[in-house]
Chains A and B, each alone.
Chain A
Amino acid sequence: MKKEIPLIITFISGFLLIIAFFVPHEPFGSLEQRFNDWFIIVSGFTLILGVDSLLLYHYKKIKRKEKDAPYSLILIISFVIVLFWGIYSGVKHGNPFAPTSTFLRYFYTYVFVPLQATMFALLAFFISSAAYRAFRARTLNATLLLLSAGIVMLGRVPMGEETVPYFTGITLILISVIFALEGFKRVNPLEKTFFLSMAVLSILLIFPLSAFLKRHLTEITNWIMNTPQLGAKRGLFIGISLGAIAMSVRIILGIERTYLK
C-alpha cells in the first residue's frame, strides 16, 4: 500500500486536471483552481523540508568531524542568526522587509546582496579565462561556433562596426598563414597549388570582407540570432515539451515510478 496510494493519488489528480482543462463546466470547472490552491500550500511546505534536509546534512558533517565541518558550523550559525533577526524584525516592524526594518537595511542590503553579487561577478573572470582556453578552431564545427560567437559579440556592442575590420584582417592573415604552411608541406602539386591559392585568396579577401562586415555587421548579427539560433532553440523547445508530455503520461499511468524512491 506504501506505493499504491501515491500512485492512485497521482493518477486521479493528473486525470482530473486533464479533464478540467478541456471541460470548463461544473463539477470540473473549479477543480483546476482548487488543485492550484493545494499546490501553492504544498509548495510552501516544501521549503520546510528543504530547511530540514539542509540542517540535518550539515549537522551530520559536524558530528562526524569531517574536513569541512567548520564551514557547516558557520552555515548553521548564520542560519540561526538570520532566522531570529528576521523574526525579530517581523514582530517589531510587521514585516522583515518593511522599509524601517533593520533586517532589510543591514542584513539584506549590506550582507546578502553584496555576497550574492560578488559570487556571481566572479563568473566574468572564469568565463573569460575559459573562453580563451576552450575556443580553439580545432574542427569545422568549433570554427563555425567561434566565428558566429565573435560576430555576435561584436555586433551587440557599440564599437563593433569600428573594430570588426581589424579582427577580420587578423583572422584572415592567420588563415592565410595556416594555408601557406600547409601548402609548403604538401608534395602533390595539385594539393600544393590548392593550399597556396587559398592562402592568396585569404589575403585578397581582407579588404572586401572587412568592408562588408563593417557595413552589415548588425544585419548579420540579427540574422544569426533570428535564424540559426532561433531554429535550434525552437527544435530544443519542441523536443523538451514532447519529452515533458511523454514523462507526464508515464507518471500519471504509473509507468514512471522513480519519484517514489
Chain B
Amino acid sequence: MKNFFEKIAKIDRRIVYLLIFLGVTIPLITKKGFKFEPLQEVKKAYDFIESLPEGSVILISIDYDAASMPELQPLLEVVLRHLFSNNLKVLMMGHWPLGLPLGQIALEKIAKEMNKKYGYDYVFLGYRPGVAAVILNMGKEIRTVFNTDYKGTPIDSLEMMRGIHNYSDIALLIGFEAGATGDFWVQFGQARFGLKIILTSTAVITPDLYPYYQAGQIVGLIGGLRGAADYEILVKRKGFAYSGMTAQTIIHIIIIILILLGNIGYFALRRLK
C-alpha cells in the first residue's frame, strides 16, 4: 500500500510531460470544440469596436514577441479582420522590436485578404525606443516620434496620416500585451491624454490588468486564449483560439487530477509514517 502511495506522490516527471503533450496535441488535431459564453470584459471590447463610426483610426501596439504567439497572434488576426470589415483604419506600431514583424506579417496578410490599401486604409509605423517617452510624445504630435513609416516614407505623404497628429485623432488603442507595456499605455496614454484603450494580453499578465478594467481606465479586456476564443465567437469566426480552448480545458483537468493525486499520496504517506 505504501508503495502505491509513494508512486502517486512522486509520479515520474516524464509521465507528467507525456500527459501534457497528449493533452495539448490530441484536441488540436481533432479540433473538437466546447460551447461557452463570452466573458463580459470581452463583450465590452467587441461592443466598443462595433460602436465606432466608419473611417475611425485605431492604433494597434504590438507589445509581445514569438514566445506569446500562440495566445496573441490568432487574436491579432481576428481583431484586424474585424476592424477592416467595419471599414476602420489601422495604424500599427510596437514597443517590442523582436515581436513587431509578427504584427507586420499579420497586418499585410489580413489587409491583402480584405483588399485594403497601404497608406489609405492602414499604415505600419514600426518601432522607436523609449516606451514611456514615445507614448508621451505621441500624445502631443505623432511626427515628433515617427516622421516616417517603417520603410522610411515620410508620413505626411501618406493619405491616411494627413489628419492624424495625436491621440485626439485616434478613436481607440488596442494594445497586445505580453509584459508591462500595457501599464505604460494606461498610465501615460489614458491618464494624461484620455486615450480610449482595449488591452489584450497573455493569460499570465491578465490579472495585472483587471484593476484598470474595473476602474474604467480601459474599455475592454481580452485576456489569454480564453479571451481570444470569446472574441472569435463574437465575430462569428471560430479559429485557432477556439479549438485551443479544448486543449486548455483538458490540460487544466489533467493538472487538477495530478494535484489531487499528489495530495492523496502526500497525506497517506504522512499518515503511514
List residues of chain A with CB under 8 Å of any chain B CB.
32-33, 36-37, 39-40, 42-44, 46-47, 94-95, 97-99, 104, 108-109, 112-117, 119-121, 124-125, 128-129, 131-133, 135-138, 146, 150, 153-154, 156-160, 163, 167, 170-171, 174, 177-178, 181, 225-226, 229-230, 233-234, 237
Contact = CB atoms under 8 A, between A and B. Distances in A.
Contacts of B106: none
B11 A37 contact: no
B152 interface: yes
Given A117-B67, A124-B24, A225 B210 contact: yes
Which secondary structure characterizes the binding site on chain A? Answer: helix
Q: Which 3 residue pairs spanning A and B have beta carbons closest together?
A: A158-B34, A120-B67, A43-B129
Nearest to B265: A136
B67 A116 contact: yes
Contacts, number: 157
B263 interface: yes
A152 to B, nearest CB: 9
B117 interface: no
Give the interface size bracket for B toward A.
Answer: 35 or more
B68 A120 contact: yes
Interface string B7-40: 0000101001101110010000000001110000
A159 B11 contact: no
Nearest to B18: A125
20 contacts: A36-B130, A36-B133, A44-B130, A47-B129, A94-B152, A95-B151, A112-B98, A117-B66, A117-B69, A128-B254, A128-B258, A132-B16, A136-B266, A153-B255, A157-B226, A159-B249, A174-B264, A230-B211, A234-B211, A237-B211
B69 A97 contact: no
B117 to A, nearest CB: 15
Contact of B211 (A32, A170, A233): A233
A68 B211 CA distance: 45
Contacts of B210: 225-226, 229-230, 233
Contacts of A104: 101, 105
B237 interface: no
Contacts of A109: 105
Interface string B173-206: 0000000000000000000000000000000000
B69 A113 contact: yes
A168 B128 CA distance: 51
Interface string B213-247: 01000000000001000000000000000000110
A200 B150 CA distance: 69
Contacts of A125: 16-17, 20-21
B35 A39 contact: no
B130 A157 contact: no
Which of B13, B24, B145, B266 is the most central at the interface, judged by chain A CB atoms within 10 Å of its CB?
A: B13
Contacts of A114: 66
